[in-house]
Structure 1
Amino acid sequence: MSTTPPLAAQVVVVTGAARGVGALLARKLAQHGAEVALVGLEPEELKAVAAQCGPAASFWEADVTDLEALSTAARRIQERHGRIDTVVANAGIAIGGPLRDSDPRAFDRVIEVNLLGSVATARAFLPALAESGGYLLQIASLAALTPAPLMAAYCASKAGVEAFAHSLRAEVAHQGVKVGVGYLSWTDTDMVRGADQDTVLAQMRARLPWPANKTYPLDPAVDRLLAGIARRSPHVYAQAWLRGMQAVRGVLPGLIATVGARDIARLAPQLKATAASRLRAVGAGGAADTATRGATVE
């Protein structure tokens, strides 16, 4: 039976590593002795994070939806570091608001980055993980466990990556590769802070039942992800209460459809009046994705 190497003996790739969960996870992995390779869109931010991760760290600019660029990065990372033991598919963006008011390009881009970007990440790095008998941790979300109005693109993408990772787990087990899914609730990142700048979305979130209406600190959430990586866990919960959501997820769509419908009806005039303010992905990461593609939304 193969044993899991300690973090200090691993080479770990983290996508979406320029900020937030990815950046802090990379720093904590490096503190535990891992060699980290950071992948993302913002070279200056990646360079700064890599510098904080020590001289063995590397950074690679690549869009996770570009399979060719990711495959090139995977090959070069393996050449530089000698192997790849763990890959954390963390890159993601989000938009909020009603489907009918959304820009189709921005809506589709969320699914492209979050879901198809995760598929491309797996395609690019699975050959190296098969060589090392490694681990792929797919970052999902509370949004994978429960639907939420005004978050259709994000919920669809995160439900998709959860299902994708569960399906992939059985496919690659005979190659010695383990696959895990990481779940986070609202965590103090640029993405969540960006969403909270929208007063209507913030009102909607405030009406969620406890504990789903809180914003949780980043540091302990990343510590739990780190512990899951060390164990190569099939499920990793960045907030402990998320584990309990698995038992009740079947009843949530009906409940949310009833309660959410009333809230949306109440907020409909405000949502309509402010629709033009939510045509792009939220937060600094969303802005970086838009800038990289040179996209303009009128």
Structure 2
Amino acid sequence: MPKYDLTNRVVAITGSTGGLGSALAAALRAKGARLALFDLDLAQVEAQAKTLGDLSLARGWIANVRSMESLEAAMADAAAHFGHIDVVIANAGIDTMAPMATLNPEAFERVIDINLNGVWRSFRAGLPYVQKRQGYLMGISSMAAFVHSPLQASYTSSKAGVWALCDSVRLELQHLGVGVGSVHPTFFPTPMMDDVVADPAGHALWGGNDKGIWKMVSRESVVRNIVAGIEQRADMVVVPKRNTLIAKAPGLFRRFIERAGFRGKNIQKAIELASSTGWNLPAERQDGPSGNLDASISPATRRSVG
């Protein structure tokens, strides 16, 4: 496959001012990409953009990955400003460190909403623009998608969900020429990792992440591999590469199952027939406990969101 040249490509990045987001933005700008930077603090993201070039090269927008409306507005503004969007990198993410028995349920739900739902929202908001350019969607997952540590149920399940989400969406979009990939780095230095190392529970689990199996890799190596993954429109990026077998083992038969069970024409037909409510069911089957939709949601609410 020819290299996907990043020169003048417009790349939208959520969570752009974080440890990985800021390093990735700088590396992509060095490759000639133009950057739509999305984060929660407008002053901070605008300051970041100024360090990367004038407004024709980088600009910041406030965007909250927990809000579809916020992301749609930011993507629309970015597309209008730059003329198009080629690549969306769903990078925003948070972590927790507590066992299920004591973790505040709201903290669990927040991690899932940002790390997993936020990737879906970012992809959905960016797709109309990326599809026009036959571009690429990238979700930042983790080796935690495959190695499931204790005290991190919210994080590991969200990152495993990102991996699955990217695989599913790739099948939906392949006939449109849109690529989709997930990124799975091991531990590397970021402000979030500083919190993990400083947390007594995190230190007890990972031993400070300075040696052995949990030793951190450099942020530079993670960024370098992510950029290479975009240039290759890769399905999966694993950092370091020696972890590839661990990452690919859970999906060893995935390619066979996809080819045997999901024919391209069948996927396209299913997309055409799918209902925007999520289920093509008669109204009477959507209201009772035996239906596929949550019986606690009223019919009026279902109609309003459909």
Q: TM-score range by the shorter chain?
A: 0.7 to 0.9
In structure 1, the partner of 2:177 is: 176
In structure 1, the partner of 2:200 is: 199
Quote the Cα distance in structure 2 between the aligned partners of 1:215 and 1:24. 16
Please say if residues 210 and 216 of structure 2, whose CA atoms lie closer than 8 Å, have aligned partners that are also in contact: no
In structure 2, the partner of 1:74 is: 75
Give the fraction of aligned pairs with identical amino acids, expressed as a percent: 34
Quote the Cα distance in structure 2 between the aligned partners of 1:6 and 1:141. 25
- In structure 2, relative to structure 1, the CA distance for the partners of 1:82 and 1:5 (3 Å cut) is farther
Please say if residues 38 and 61 of structure 2, whose CA atoms lie closer than 8 Å, have aligned partners that are also in contact: yes
In structure 2, the partner of 1:99 is: 100
Please say if residues 4 and 230 of structure 2, whose CA atoms lie closer than 8 Å, have aligned partners that are also in contact: no
- In structure 2, relative to structure 1, the CA distance for the partners of 1:242 and 1:43 (3 Å cut) is farther
In structure 2, the partner of 1:264 is: none
Query: What's the CA shift for 1:52?
Result: 1.9
CA RMSD of aligned residues (A): 1.9
In structure 2, the partner of 1:45 is: 44
Superposition misfits of 4+ residues, deviation over 4 angstroms: 2-5, 207-211, 247-250
Please say if residues 185 and 212 of structure 1, whose CA atoms lie closer than 8 Å, have aligned partners that are also in contact: no
Query: What's the CA shift for 1:217?
Result: 1.6
The code of the aligned residue for 1:135 comes to Y
In structure 2, the partner of 1:278 is: none
Query: How many residues in Structure 1 have an aligned counterpart in Structure 2?
Result: 249
The code of the aligned residue for 2:223 comes to V
Q: How is 1:219-230 mapped onto 2 (pairs within 5 angstroms)?
A: 219-230=220-231
Query: What's the CA shift for 1:80?
Result: 0.4
- In structure 2, relative to structure 1, the CA distance for the partners of 1:54 and 1:207 (3 Å cut) is closer
* SS of equivalent residue, structure 2 residue 214: coil
- In structure 2, relative to structure 1, the CA distance for the partners of 1:103 and 1:231 (3 Å cut) is same
Query: What's the CA shift for 1:9?
Result: 2.6
In structure 2, the partner of 1:253 is: none
Quote the Cα distance in structure 2 between the aligned partners of 1:4 and 1:82. 23
Quote the Cα distance in structure 1 between the aligned partners of 2:149 and 2:12. 31
In structure 2, the partner of 1:279 is: none
- Which ranges of structure 1 fall in alignment gaps of 5 or more residues? 251-298
In structure 2, the partner of 1:12 is: 11
Quote the Cα distance in structure 2 between the aligned partners of 1:207 and 1:218. 16
Quote the Cα distance in structure 1 between the aligned partners of 2:249 and 2:134. 34
Query: What's the CA shift for 1:239?
Result: 1.7
Query: What's the CA shift for 1:248?
Result: 4.7
Query: What's the CA shift for 1:35?
Result: 0.2
Select the structure of larger CA radius of gyration: 2
Give the TM-score normalised by structure 1.
0.79
Please say if residues 144 and 155 of structure 1, whose CA atoms lie closer than 8 Å, have aligned partners that are also in contact: yes
Q: How is 1:285-296 mapped onto 2 (pairs within 5 angstroms)?
A: none
Q: How is 1:157-176 mapped onto 2 (pairs within 5 angstroms)?
A: 157-176=158-177
> Are 1:111 and 2:112 matched, yes or no?
yes
The code of the aligned residue for 1:238 comes to V
Q: How is 1:247-286 mapped onto 2 (pairs within 5 angstroms)?
A: 247-249=248-250
Query: What's the CA shift for 1:17?
Result: 0.5
Quote the Cα distance in structure 2 between the aligned partners of 1:77 and 1:52. 18
Quote the Cα distance in structure 1 between the aligned partners of 2:132 and 2:173. 12
Quote the Cα distance in structure 1 between the aligned partners of 2:191 and 2:141. 17
How big is each residue's C-alpha offset from its partner over 1:43-90, in whole Å with a ceiling of 9 and x where there is no partner?
A: 232122211211120111111010011001111111000111111111
Query: What's the CA shift for 1:174?
Result: 1.1
Quote the Cα distance in structure 2 between the aligned partners of 1:181 and 1:36. 20
Please say if residues 37 and 45 of structure 2, whose CA atoms lie closer than 8 Å, have aligned partners that are also in contact: yes
* SS of equivalent residue, structure 2 residue 66: coil
How big is each residue's C-alpha offset from its partner over 1:13-44, in whole Å with a ceiling of 9 and x where there is no partner?
A: 11110121111101110111110111111223
Query: What's the CA shift for 1:171?
Result: 0.2
* SS of equivalent residue, structure 1 residue 183: strand
The code of the aligned residue for 2:234 comes to S
- In structure 2, relative to structure 1, the CA distance for the partners of 1:211 and 1:12 (3 Å cut) is farther
